[in-house]
Structure formats: C-alpha cells, structure tokens
Amino acid sequence: MFLKEAMSSLDFSNVVETIDFSDVEGKNLSQCMVNLPILVVKNFLSADYISENLKKIKENFSPENDCYSTGPLRVGMPNFQRFDMGNHPSKNPKCLRAFTFFTWEKNSIFKEGIDKMTQFRDKHFTLPSYLQNNKNSKYEFKDYPRIVQYPTGAGFLNEHVDEDRELYPEGTPIMLVCLTHRENPKRDGDFKRGGLYYIHEGEELDVEEFLDIGDLCVHNQKVAHGVKTVDFGEKPKLDNFSGRFMLLLSTYRFKKES
C-alpha cells in the first residue's frame, strides 16, 4: 500500500511505502529502503503505551534540568536532557530538546518501545558490518535512542541528510516513532502547523499528513529531511512540555571507555 492520494505535486508511490505492523512478519525490508527512501509502519506502538510513558517523562520534567553542551558522546555516559538552539552544539541549525535513553543505563521509560525498534531493525533490515568495530579505534558505533521535543512556537530542525560517515555508519536506517501528531480535518492533534518533511527530487513531502501516534517512520541516510517550525506564529513555549515529540533511534559514533 502506498501513500499517493493526498497531494498532487508528487507521485508518492515513488517516495513512500506504508505497511501495517501486523503485515511485516517474514519480510526483509532493506529492499524497500533501496527502492523507496521512506517507509511508514502503521500501528507500531500503541497510543496507550505512549501516553503512559510520556506522562512519566512529564512528571520528572523541568527546564532546570537542561544542559546545553555534553561534548562528544561517550560509552557509559549518563543520560541527559539537552536543549539545542541555533548552531550549537551541532552545525545544523535547530531548536529542540533531547532526552536520552542510553542502552547501558537502567531505563524503564520507553524501554519496551526502544527494544521493539531495535529488534524490528535487526530482524527486517540487512545491516552493514558496523557492529564489527575497529579494536584500534578510539570510537565505536552504538545505538543512540532518545526522545526529541520540538517546542510549541519555536521547535524546528534545518533540512539536512545523515551521511556523515564519521558519525553515522553507512546503510543503517534512521527510525522514529510519532509520540504526538498534528491535527487535520479528520482528527484533533497536539499541534496545528509544521512538523516532519522530506525532500524528493526537489519536491517537499509533508509526511505529517499521514502519520498517527504510534506510527514508525524509517528513512535511509540519503534523503533530505527536516522539521518545520511547530505552530509557527504562536508564542514560543521553550520551558513547556508541549509541541511535537518523537522517539528516535539511530546508530552513532561514541568514544570508547578508557
């Protein structure tokens, strides 16, 4: 099943493939990422599970816990809540807050969801040999699970591709689960404007049009993407637990423990 009916400027059958989570058993989805840059898996996590775990994060949330620089990611480092604005600490302009859930920490919040994402990736995709890290290198590639918040009135991520080979191992998919969704004529939502988009052959795909809470969105490393300002024009709510939230899993370079 393909997303091809919502916008006329693009034939989305050449861009996005959708499949329900109940239909993925026994399928190798790597070829999908070769033929099409974006895959949407519907109903990957339940809305009740997401609501329960977001509530736990909100209960412990305080903007006073924000840090603004963590230095290079290191194996064994503690979880952090980091607020990124502008070009620092990344060269890619953004306004977002990240809550990390490193696999070596004893996390309980969203643990089942993160484990499900990892197992889904390992089962349905042919992965490169990034797990065979160079023993002589100071770095190794590790899974980097985190929740990303794009605050109301300000949250955005500049258009980019994830092809930095020093940071991302070639061939690993980028995976995100929608924890909130945008309103449309058929439903209420957590935000009204902006959100995730992709660029394909110079055309923009507003993928939020098709995403519901609990859907998994997977893209390859070559497709350009970004997040348009969430509820642009509203008063920025940088200190609030509001806006667009996603559970993100990528594979990233970490400095080894000394």
Counting every residue, how long is the chain?
258
pLDDT reading at 211 higher than 90: yes
Q: What are phi and psi of 203, to 5 degrees?
A: -105, 150
* pLDDT score recorded for residue 14: 66
- As a whole-number percent, the residues of the chain with pLDDT over 70 amount to 86
Determine if the peptide bond prior to 169 is cis (ω within 30°). no
Residues 78-104 have a mean pLDDT of 87
Residue 63 — pLDDT band, cuts 50, 70, 90?
A: very high
Residues 182-186 have a mean pLDDT of 89
More confident residue, 136 or 3: 136
Cα three-residue angle 159-162-167, rounded to 5 degrees? 135
- As a whole-number percent, the residues of the chain with pLDDT over 90 amount to 57
Residue type, 76: G
- The answer to whether the beta carbons of residues 189 and 130 sit under 8 Å apart is no
* pLDDT score recorded for residue 163: 73
pLDDT reading at 97 higher than 80: yes
* pTM across the whole model: 0.90
What is residue 207's three-state secondary structure? Answer: helix
Interaxial angle between packed helices 47-60 and 111-124, expressed in degrees from 0 to 180 and rounded to the nearest 10: 130
pLDDT digits (tens, 9 = 90+) for 105-159: 988 899 999 999 999 998 888 776 655 556 667 888 889 999 999 999 999 999 9
Q: Which residue ranges form the domains of the chain, and what is each CATH number?
A: 12-255 (2.60.120.620)
More confident residue, 160 or 134: 160
Residue 1 — pLDDT band, cuts 50, 70, 90?
A: very low
pLDDT digits (tens, 9 = 90+) for 30-39: 766 666 778 9
Structure tokens at 15: 């861009």
* pLDDT score recorded for residue 33: 66
pLDDT reading at 10 higher than 50: no
Residues contacting residue 76 through CB under 8 Å, at least 6 positions apart: 104, 257
Sign of the alpha-carbon dihedral angle for 120, 57, 206, 156:
negative
